[in-house]
Structure 1
């Protein structure tokens, strides 16, 4: 990274076009695309108590019954990428469901939703298993709070696990390591070559977690100074509270040059709102300590951050400190 004159950017923000809604397992199932080739992906991440962290998932590019499927994993130690693996399969190797989350490739189950636990107790539990060369994971994600979705006729987003406990095993260069920690899972679909024209030029996304509270947030970049912002506050074992866009303040700053592009390294997120009579306050600063640059959808520059988040989240009379490492991202389509 090379330093540059510090700058900041404040967006004029608008609310998302649809409200946050409750979900069922079908919302995290495969949706597919009938009109055009589109991307769809299941995303999981986790921060573990032994300073390992990871991103794992599966991405599809398809139209009707034709396309490609790519499972992938990225494992970090102290925020630095130490293992990366990806594999590609044709669509005839892909087994899935439109009723519940399921990804099977060449008869190997990658993502398995526990339907029995859901039917009995409405618990959201996933087994995520993947082995590519000498790297792999075998993990259980157990939801700690209620999920939600923002669904439009085009691009859509389901946050099935705003917060989850995670335990199991990771494999790095053939070495198996027991892990436990806190994770997250979401699912996006219907992202195509039209997305930069109809949806946005890119986005910032992240989440913040305290002892029993979680904030899932995103800023969709519509233009250099116009955005669409959302922040949903979740309580462990309870529901979620969407906050009002006009009450959210997001500021990326301390821009530098990285891979020949401008990207911020510091972020402020503030919320001062009252929803259904419940006061909600968030005041958190996120400072970058590691960056992983990549490209997604072939051409889009993408930065995955490990950030140190410090501040507080308050819901009603419950004020909790945020002092943690989190994963966030910045993507630009142009």
Structure 2
């Protein structure tokens, strides 16, 4: 379950005496295997929808990056927004974005492929020799550029949320190499990365308060977690654990406990700055504390707020009889619709 001690305290002051807190939602996320086409463009039957591809990576010399391509469609108009952020030691160094009319973009419904007038910005394919899933990312706006390759080391998975939107985590963990360019300096980089894709996200998602998301790596695992906040007292937690060059394990919500504390004001809103994640099953034991290093805030339309965290994660994970330590900086996020 998910708890917010500070936020819940304020909420309970306004509750009726006979109101009872609801437990975590009975809906349970159920991941399944993917094929390459799952990461292609899907579109939606809805009149208004959004679909996006997200990549991030932790790189050498304490750099980290985020790249995304997001489609927004409504009122008979569709746009592609391409965004690229570079961080140093968790602090934002540069932010670039560009908008394209979707009718001017070549985008495939058969494979992961997006090409603007300037370049192919995303191409996903399976290496015929190794069988590895590979993504090439190419980006340039003004004096900021990136040429990055993501090579998957874990098995991807997908699942449908209760609002009928799909989430595919194509690369729970990947090896990343290439170059980033800023201020006329090109830097050779390597590290570890992540890629996911959401589609058929419609206005129904706004019924939720928002969600938390993050991922954590140990030497041989990739742990992807999220909490969809349905109401101030009802949540949908999930956690999927991958092992490198192996499969994945879905952890039931009843075996998860996520706590958000040290709540204080950021950008006019009260948000947490420390998180604790605990998962316990017959074969898995996970205990992690996440402390905020820095936060990058983005306003999405008048009412929505997005905070991208860099969090220092410390703890341990045990699978069967083998235990590994966790001690590194990772990206997490909090999206608040209202």
**Does the pair score TM above 0.5?**
yes
Among 312, 325, 329, the residue aligned to 2:329 = 325
Q: Spell out the pairing of 1:261-276 with structure 2 (5 A cutoff).
A: 261-274=269-282
1:44 aligns with 2:55: yes
User: Residues 15 and 158 from structure 1, CA distance in 2 versus in 1: closer, same or farther, beyond 3 angstroms?
Assistant: farther
Q: Which residue pairs with 2:193 in the alignment?
A: 183
Structure 1 contact 32–64 (Cα < 8 Å) conserved: no
Pairwise mapping of residues 163-182 of structure 1 onto structure 2 (< 5 A)?
Answer: 163-182=173-192
Distance in structure 2 (CA, Å) of the matches to 1:213 and 1:297: 36
Unpaired runs of 5+ in structure 1? 1-5
Write the distance in 2 (CA, Å) between the matches of 1:40 and 1:298.
20
Paired residues of 1:33 and 1:64 also in contact (CA < 8 A):
no
TM-superposition CA deviations, 1:143-183 (whole Å, max 9, x none): 11101111257211000000111010001122111111111
Change in 2 beyond 3 A, CA 1:9/1:250: farther
Please tell me whether residue 158 in structure 1 is matched to residue 168 in structure 2.
yes
| Residue equivalent to 2:304 | 300
For 2:219 and 2:155, the matched residues in 1 are separated by 16
| Matched ranges for 1:56-95 at <5 A | 56-62=67-73, 66-95=77-106
Instruction: Give the 4+ runs in structure 1 shifted more than 6 A.
Output: none
SS of 2:41's equivalent in the other structure is coil
Q: Is the 8 A contact 2:36 2:125 kept in 1?
A: no
Q: How well do the aligned residues superpose, as a CA RMSD in angstroms?
A: 1.9
1:65 shift after superposition: 8.0
- List aligned pairs for 1:235-246, cutoff 5 A: 235-246=243-254
Instruction: Give the TM-score of the pair, scaled to structure 1.
Output: 0.91
- Equivalent-residue separation in structure 2 for 1:105 and 1:233 (angstroms): 35
**Are residues 212 and 309 of structure 1, via their aligned partners in 2, closer, same or farther at CA, if it must alter by over 3 Å?**
same
Aligned pairs for 1:206-285 (under 5 A) are 206-274=214-282, 279-285=283-289
Q: How far did 1:114 drift? A: 2.4
Cα displacement (A) at 1:122: 3.2
